[in-house]
Structure formats: structure tokens, C-alpha cells
Amino acid sequence: MLEIRNLHARIGDREILRGIDLVVKPGEVHAIMGPNGSGKSTLSYILAGKDDYEVTEGDILFNGESILEMEPNERATAGLFLAFQYPIEIPGVASMTFLRAALNAKRKANGEAEITTPEFMRVVKEASAKLNISPDMLKRPVNVGFSGGEKKRNEVLQMALLEPKVAILDETDSGLDIDALKVVAEGVNALRSPDRAFVVITHYQRLLDHIVPDIVHVLSAGRIVQTGGKELAFDLEKNGYAAYVSDAA
């Protein structure tokens, strides 16, 4: 469903991704781990379609079609969802308004009618309650003044409402307290399904206790240098990256 082929990308004259190959099938959960600066967030930005990056080689296929020429909003309506490491603030736009606009954009792209107010209120209330997001927070501008953990939960709320086909979560666990980590993981697990896939970027094996991955990859210096099962995350936690990064550097 998501296939990354020999992806090379640069920013300015600096090559950051140096040949990434990754195949994500429906129903799978992949985890990407790797040292700071190895290119994890860069990969998620490029998937989202952020235009600071230049793809110099390779391709990204979503359901068999290249997305490189697609605008970020087209990628989103096609079913790709990105939760960023640093969620952006949108002053002046209430979270509720934002969620409804995002949901309606997706429905419109799928040829569906706009969601009615009562129906929208019902789905938001249900999804936000599961994530311990108060109605008060939804009245505030998107992410403005939200604590780190509140921003992360808000991202998962967006994901729950948009029901993407592939969700990429960049360090959605960072900054979460122990309870919030469980809440977010439950939010993700509730969405796991045979026709939906996740790519979870994380530094900590702990998250993977809650969101159990099928496949774990190690990214180092812009390449995937190791791929394994969930036991690979335990090995990394115990021994660090030394065994994997030396041959990539």
C-alpha cells in the first residue's frame, strides 16, 4: 500500500536520505528507530509533501501510484496521515473548526456530502472522550498553548476522525506522561485494522510495548541499515545503535 523505492532526498546541497527502501502492507505496523539526525523526520516530511526537500532519486508509491507530484492536501485526501514530531500551531482557528474542515475536505474528495452538525458533534465527542481531550480544549485555537502531551493527543484525535489508510506517527510518544502514553497507544490500537497501516517513529522501546509492531527498522545516516521483528527494539534498547551504525557512517 505504501512503497518507498530507493529514495534519495536533499535539503540545500546536503543529502539527508540516501536510498531508502520500505514496503508497508495493509494491516502492518512498522516501527522506525534510529539515532538523532538520521533522517526519520525528514522521511515523514517528504511523505507529507513538505516542499523544502528535493527528491533527487527514487519514488514513493501509494496504492501503486507515485505521490511525488501530489500536493500535501491531495495526499491527505488519498488517505495518508502524518502526525508531526512538532505539531504546528494555527492561531485563530478553533480546533473544532479545523477538525470539521479537515473531515469535510476528505468527504468532498470522496464525493460524500458534508457532515451534519449533530453527527459531527457526536463523532468528535466520542473520539475526544477516548483520548481524554476536554471540550474546552477543542474550543481553543489548534495547538496554541497546548502542552506537549496535549498536542500529541490532538494529533491522534485528528487521525481518529480522518480514518487514514496509512498513518505515519513521528515521535507521538515523546513528551507524554505515562497515562497519556497508554491513552495515545489505545487510540492507535483502536484504529488498527486489516486495511490500515502504521509507521511509528520512536526512540523508545516502551511505546512498542503498547503498540506492538510487526516490523522494526533502524534508520542511520539516511538509510535503513537493519530490519527485524519486535525483538530488534529490545536489542536496541539494551545495546544502543553502535552495532548498526558503524557500517553506515
Ligand X SMILES: Nc1ncnc2c1ncn2[C@@H]1O[C@H](COP(=O)(O)OP(=O)(O)OP(=O)(O)O)[C@@H](O)[C@H]1O
42 is an interface residue for ligand X by CB under 6 A: yes
What is the C-alpha separation between 174 and 103, in angstroms, rounded?
Answer: 26
38 is an interface residue for ligand X by CB under 6 A: yes
Q: b/e per residue, 17-26, with b = 16+ CB within 10 A?
A: bbebebebee
x/- contact string, 11-50, with Mg ion (CB under 5 A)? -----------------------------xx---------
x/- contact string, 65-104, with Mg ion (CB under 5 A)? --------------------x-------------------
**Planar angle of CA 93, 99, 101, nearest 5 degrees:** 80
What is the C-alpha separation between 215 and 32, in angstroms, rounded?
Answer: 9
220 is an interface residue for ligand X by CB under 6 A: no
Cα 223 versus chain centre, distance: 19
Report the residue from 13, 14, 64, 249 that binds ligand X according to the rule CB under 6 A.
Answer: 14
Tell me the closest approach of the beta carbon of residue 222 to ligand X, in angstroms.
8
40 is an interface residue for ligand X by CB under 6 A: yes
What is the rounded (10 degree) CA torsion for 57, 62, 68, 70?
180
132 is an interface residue for ligand X by CB under 6 A: no
Tell me the closest approach of the beta carbon of residue 232 to ligand X, in angstroms.
17
Per partner kind, with CB cut-offs from 5 to 8 A, the member of Mg ion, ligand X, none near residue 39 is ligand X
Tell me the closest approach of the beta carbon of residue 201 to Mg ion, in angstroms.
7
116 is an interface residue for ligand X by CB under 6 A: no
Classify 66 as helix, strand or coil. strand
Residues 6 or more apart whose CB falls under 8 angstroms from that of 140 comprise 94, 95, 146
Per partner kind, with CB cut-offs from 5 to 8 A, the member of ligand X, Mg ion, none near residue 42 is ligand X
Query: Helix (H) and strand (E) counts for the chain?
Result: 10, 12
Report the residue from 36, 69, 113, 249 that binds ligand X according to the rule CB under 6 A.
Answer: 36
Q: How far is CA 192 from CA 28, 29, 139, in A?
A: 9, 8, 28
Chain residues binding ligand X by CB under 6 A are: 11, 14, 16, 34, 36-42, 52, 85
Residues forming the site for Mg ion (CB under 5 A)? 40-41, 85
